[in-house]
Structure 1
Amino acid sequence: MLRTSYLLRSVFWQEIDTRDFPGTRVTVSETRRWLRDQTLGAAPAPALDSAILALSELVTNSIVHSQSGQSSDGRITVRLARSAGALHVEVTDNGSSKSKPTVQLPTSTRSNGRGLLLVDQVVAFWGAHDGDKSRMMVWFLVDWA
């Protein structure tokens, strides 16, 4: 699916914007505002709401689980692209040697670990790629066609 995502983006996707954010908790709300501002009028409200929710979860994961949130100079890059009837979002961070993005089922003993389960429920497709081991990119696609 990941290769298809890149192929589709290169043929059909129009890049909206790419922006770097600091790896701090305030970044979560900043990325939500930025996504809404960049895509206002380009997607119906329910699709935009799903994209904002998914982006919040991925940025939170980057801050909590990657090196981007562990150092004062940590960065998170968000890229937005659109096509007729869909929005593609990528979140790239400084990676982690401890974990890879995976959906975890909730348990009664854990109060966290539901973010990617939520993402999986509100987007059409998502995936992750750690090409050079020092960076992790997680992407998702929201469609409304």
Structure 2
Amino acid sequence: MNQEKSTQLHPPARHFSVLLSPTPRGARLARLLATEWLRTWGLPHGVVERAEHLVAELAANAATHGRLPGRDFRVALLTDPVAGTLRIEVTDTRAEAAPHRRASADPLSESGRGLLLVEALTDRWGVRLGPVPRKTVWAELDYTQPD
């Protein structure tokens, strides 16, 4: 009796990570590099677009609020094709500067809406502290792998 085991083939998990200077240029480079990597991974277009905005916002926050001279920030992208998730992580060295959503942003202000944007674009997000002096702000997007 010949029994064939059917195995589903899943695309491999993918990982990208880079250290960047905590400057506006570093934040822009984070967005550009992340977008390029995400496009090569074959993720759905809508996920790539959402992720591009999230990386831009989280990297800008790290460069602005998590900045310490001489200490870089890290951007990491991780896919789990079995679960259908993309995880974005941005780590800086200012654990004491945890992000917090403002109750109401001044409509004329040029800042203060970042975490509202993060909440709107993600399926889940949060903050993980450590190891000292680091904090990681993470965001997850669910997706369905194209056929």
- Distance between the aligned counterparts of 1:108 and 1:28, measured in 2? 24
Which runs of 4 or more aligned residues in structure 1 lie more than 2 Å from their structure 2 counterparts after TM superposition? 107-111
- Preserved contact between residue 68 and residue 93 of structure 2 (Cα < 8 Å): no
Partner Cα distance (2:51, 2:119) in 1: 11
Find the counterpart in structure 2 of residue 19 from structure 1. Answer: 18
Secondary structure at the aligned position of 1:19 is classed as strand
Task: Give the distance between the partners of 2:29 and 2:80, measured in 1 at CA.
Answer: 24
Partner in structure 2 of residue 77 of structure 1:
74
State the Cα deviation string for residues 84-137 of structure 1 (Å, max 9, x = none).
Answer: 23211110001153x311222323464321101101101111100112341110
TM-score, length of structure 2 as denominator length: 0.79
Q: Distance in 2 between matches of 1:28 and 1:63?
A: 6
Using structure 1 for the length normalisation, give the TM-score: 0.80
Deviation of the 1:53 alpha carbon: 0.4
Stretches of structure 2 that go unaligned for 5 or more consecutive residues are 1-11
Q: Could you tell me which residue of structure 1 aligns to residue 133 of structure 2?
A: 134
Secondary structure, aligned partner of 2:33 = helix
- Provide the rounded CA distance (Å) in 2 between the counterparts of 1:65 and 1:39: 26
Unaligned regions of 5+ residues in structure 1, if any? 1-12
Report the identity percentage: 24
Secondary structure (helix, strand or coil) at the match of 1:101 reads coil
Aligned match of 1:47? 47
Distance 1:122 1:113 in 2: 16
Aligned CA-pair RMSD: 1.9
Structure-1 separation of matches of 2:55 and 2:107: 26
For structure 1, which segment, 27-36 or 134-143, has the greater mean C-alpha deviation from structure 2 after superposition?
27-36
Aligned length: 129
What is the rounded CA distance, in whole Å, between the counterparts of 1:129 and 1:57 in structure 2?
17
Q: What residue is the counterpart of 1:117 in the other structure?
A: 116
Residues 71 and 93, structure 2, Cα contact 8 Å, conserved in 1: yes
Per-residue CA shift, 1:40-92, capped at 9, x if unaligned? 142111111111101111111111111xx241x22011111102232111100
SS at match of 1:14: coil
Counting only pairs closer than 5 Å after superposition, residues 26-105 of structure 1 correspond to structure 2 as: 26-40=25-39, 41-66=41-66, 69-71=67-69, 73-84=70-81, 85-97=84-96, 99-104=97-102, 105=104
Higher-helix-fraction structure: 1
